[in-house]
A = this chain, B = another copy of it.
Amino acid sequence: MSLNFDSLFVGDVPDGGRVAPVKRGKYDFAVAYPDPVSLPNEHIVESVAEALAENGSDLAIYPHPQGNTLLRQYVAEKLSRDRDINAGVDDIILGNGSGHPIELLCRVLINPGDVVITDDFVYGGTLNNLRKQFADIRGVQSDASGMDPEALDATITEAKSQGKKPKFVYLIATFQNPQGWTLSEARRKEILAVTQKHEVPILEDDCYADNRYDGESVTSIFNLDDTDSVMYVGSFSKIISPGMSLGYMTAPPSVLDKVMGIKTGQRVSEFTALVVEKYARKYLDSHIEKINGIQRGKRDAMLSAIGENFGTSAEWSNPDGGLYIWMKLKDGVDMVALHKKALDEIDVGVHPGSNYSPDGVSGKNYLRLCFGYNDSDEIQTGISLLSDFLTKEGALD
């Protein structure tokens, strides 16, 4: 007789289950992978040798609860230099990717039913974390310049009128995933004026800030805020590799204290942290320059292929950075069904827009196209295949 655990589980845990990883397409525009060819593996090996020679005996010791101090020091210096954020080493917490700090923040801030505000289409990983806490997720309409401050004001006002003051506004202000826009400094200030008026915090996810191919950097919302109301997360996934699983956060002291209250047992690989610190001080700036050159080329290849193949039969974004192009097809197209068929029939992977909507349903006629993984020739071929496929399926205007 097997024991039945069902009566033992707590009530508010979603039944995620073990799921087989999704099949990947040869033309993989689905997930935001970086270029696999330019991974800095040779310099990583060199950095391992140096890090272990210098600090290898540290591996015998359980790391600082907030994560390796040398890497937190590097992160503090980088944030000051690149994002105008002044955070001391004690104000940085390392995580396993940026999804980990986001998950911790959701857990300390969200009771089931609490309102959290996002864009109308936004990063699916964060939506999953919000759903896991049973948040009432409300999307705010964006235009080509990003979230509309007036619509945000109306959404917060409505929630408050229902007695549900939002717990925070989640924003990817730079190279938004999946929409690609970047909030201007003026727009950031307008949004901050709204959230500050309502005393609602912002969670700023800045994980693409380094992946700029055109235009001038815009300072962080964290920097523009003078009311200690912004929580900030970043990551090494898009500038070294997702396989490092290294991200970080900073936030007002009371938030950092709460997060450390539940971080028990969730350590970050000290080995990876030592290696990344050593690598980053020596090579990261030049590596970012190199991969941005490669990714600029891939973006241009994809935009050019889309222009040639899609003409006026769809609308799409033209991002200055990041890894995504966001495409709108005509009303009524169901990319949820078609993206599976495309994977089977033409070996092209894309994500349907509904993966990015708070209700999980809206946006079926949108798709997200990542240009990081394949080379330019493959991008050209894959986009051509996709255009032919969508034409055949009657999905284009």
Contacts and interface: CB of A to CB of B under 8 A. Distances in A.
A45 B52 contact: yes
B49 A264 contact: no
A44 B19 CA distance: 32
Interface string A236-271: 000001111110000011111110111111111111
A3 B31 CA distance: 37
Contacts of A242: 59-63, 270
A167 to B, nearest CB: 6
A103 B264 contact: yes
A243 B41 contact: no
Interface string A48-81: 1100110011111111111000000000000000
B244 A103 contact: no
A391 to B, nearest CB: 31
Contact of A96 (B59, B196, B243, B269): B269
A41 B55 CA distance: 10
A267 B16 contact: no
B90 A60 contact: no
A45 B166 CA distance: 49
B129 A265 contact: yes
Number of copies: 2
Contacts of A257: 15-18
Contacts of A11: 111
A381 interface: no
Contact of A201 (B8, B37, B271): B8
Dominant secondary structure of chain A at its interface with chain B: loop
Contacts of A163: none
B103 A9 contact: no
B266 A1 contact: no
A147 to B, nearest CB: 19
A161 interface: no
A267 B65 contact: no
Query: How big is chain A's contact interface, by range?
Result: 35 or more
A333 to B, nearest CB: 27
Interface in A10-29: 10-11, 13-19, 21
A33 B16 contact: no
Contact of A62 (B31, B246, B253, B264): B31
Nearest to A64: B21
A272 B227 CA distance: 39
A269 B252 contact: no
22 contacts: A2-B227, A8-B167, A10-B111, A13-B107, A13-B262, A15-B257, A31-B61, A33-B60, A36-B61, A41-B59, A59-B242, A60-B242, A62-B242, A96-B267, A96-B268, A99-B266, A103-B264, A103-B266, A129-B265, A132-B261, A244-B269, A268-B269
Interface of A: 1-6, 8-11, 13-19, 21, 31, 33-37, 39, 41, 44-45, 48-49, 52-53, 56-66, 90, 96-97, 99-100, 102-103, 107-111, 125, 128-129, 132, 167-168, 196, 199, 201, 227-229, 241-246, 252-258, 260-272, 274-275, 373
Given A15-B257, A128-B265, 15 more contacts: A5-B252, A13-B261, A16-B262, A18-B260, A31-B62, A33-B61, A33-B62, A36-B60, A39-B59, A45-B45, A59-B243, A243-B270, A245-B271, A268-B269, A271-B275
